[in-house]
Chains A and B, each alone.
Chain A
Amino acid sequence: MEPQEIAEKIKERFPDEVIDITSFRDQVSVIAKKERIVDICRYLHDDPHLHFDFLVDLCGVDYLDKKVPRFEVVYNLYSIKYRHRIRLKAQVPEDNPRIDTVTSMWAGANWHERECFDMYGIVFRGHPDLRRILMPEDWEGYPLRKDYPVKGPEKEWPGFQEVLDKAKAFREFEWKK
Chain B
Amino acid sequence: MEEISRNQPPSDIRIAPELHTREITLNMGPQHPATHGVLRLVLELDGETIVKCTPYVGYLHRGTEKLGENRTYLSALPLTDRLDYVSSMNNNIGYVVAVERLLGIEPPERAKFIRTMVAEMGRISNHLLWLGTHALDIGAITPFLYVFRERERIMDLFEELCGARLTVSYPRIGGVRNDVSQKFLDDLYAFTEEFPGRIDEYETLLTVNRIWLRRTKGVGVIPAEEAINWGLTGPVLRGSGVRYDIRKFAPYDAYDKVEFEIPIGYNGDVYDRYMVRIIEMGQANRIIRQCIEKLPKGPITIDSPFTLPPKGSLSRRDKERFNKDYYSRHFVLAKSGPKEAPQGEIYVATEVPKGELGFYFISDGTGRPYRMRIRAPSFVHASALPRLCEGGLVADVISNIGSIDIVLGECDR
Contact = CB atoms under 8 A, between A and B. Distances in A.
Whether A and B are associated in the same complex: the answer reads yes
Contacts of B244: 80
Interface stretch (B60-68, B156-164, B273-281, B393-401): B60-68
A74 B349 CA distance: 16
A43 interface: no
A111 B382 CA distance: 9
B360 A54 contact: no
Contacts of B346: 24-25, 27
Interface in A104-135: 106-112, 115, 119, 132-135
Given A25-B104, A76-B375, A134-B412, 10 more contacts: A53-B225, A53-B229, A54-B228, A54-B231, A56-B375, A57-B373, A66-B364, A76-B360, A85-B347, A109-B231
B263 interface: no
B369 to A, nearest CB: 11
Interface in B250-276: none
Query: Main SS of chain B's interface residues?
Result: mixed
A56 B349 contact: yes
Nearest to A83: B249
A54 B225 CA distance: 10
A29 B242 CA distance: 27
Interface string A64-105: 001000000010100010010101000000000000000000
A139 B225 CA distance: 37
28 contacts: A24-B344, A25-B344, A27-B347, A53-B225, A54-B228, A54-B231, A55-B231, A56-B231, A56-B347, A56-B358, A57-B347, A57-B360, A66-B364, A74-B373, A76-B347, A85-B347, A87-B347, A106-B231, A107-B231, A107-B387, A111-B379, A111-B382, A134-B57, A135-B61, A136-B58, A143-B63, A150-B66, A150-B70
Nearest to A25: B346
Interface in B323-364: 344-347, 349, 356, 358, 360, 362, 364
Shortest beta-carbon contacts, A-B, top 4: A108-B231, A24-B344, A111-B383, A134-B58
Contacts of B65: 119, 144
Contacts of A112: 380
Contact of B383 (A27, A53, A108, A119): A108
A83 B65 CA distance: 28
A27 B342 CA distance: 14
A56 B237 CA distance: 13
B57 A144 contact: no
Given A27-B346, A76-B347, A76-B358, A53 B228 contact: yes
Residue of B65, B379, B383 with highest tally of chain A CB at under 10 A: B383
A163 B376 CA distance: 30
Contacts of B356: 56
Given A24-B345, A150-B70, A133 B380 contact: no
Query: Main SS of chain A's interface residues?
Result: mixed
Interface of B: 57-58, 61, 63, 65-67, 70, 101-102, 104, 225-226, 228-232, 242, 244, 249, 344-347, 349, 356, 358, 360, 362, 364, 371, 373, 375, 379-380, 382-384, 387, 412-413
Contacts of B373: 57, 59, 74
B412 to A, nearest CB: 6
B360 A74 contact: yes
Nearest to A61: B371
Given A106-B231, A108-B230, A133 B66 contact: no
Nearest to B61: A134
Nearest to A136: B58
Nearest to A114: B383
Contacts of A133: 57-58
A104 to B, nearest CB: 11
A48 to B, nearest CB: 15
A135 B412 CA distance: 10
Nearest to A144: B66
A135 to B, nearest CB: 6
Residue of A59, A62, A106, A132 with highest tally of chain B CB at under 10 A: A59
Contacts of A106: 229, 231
B375 A29 contact: no
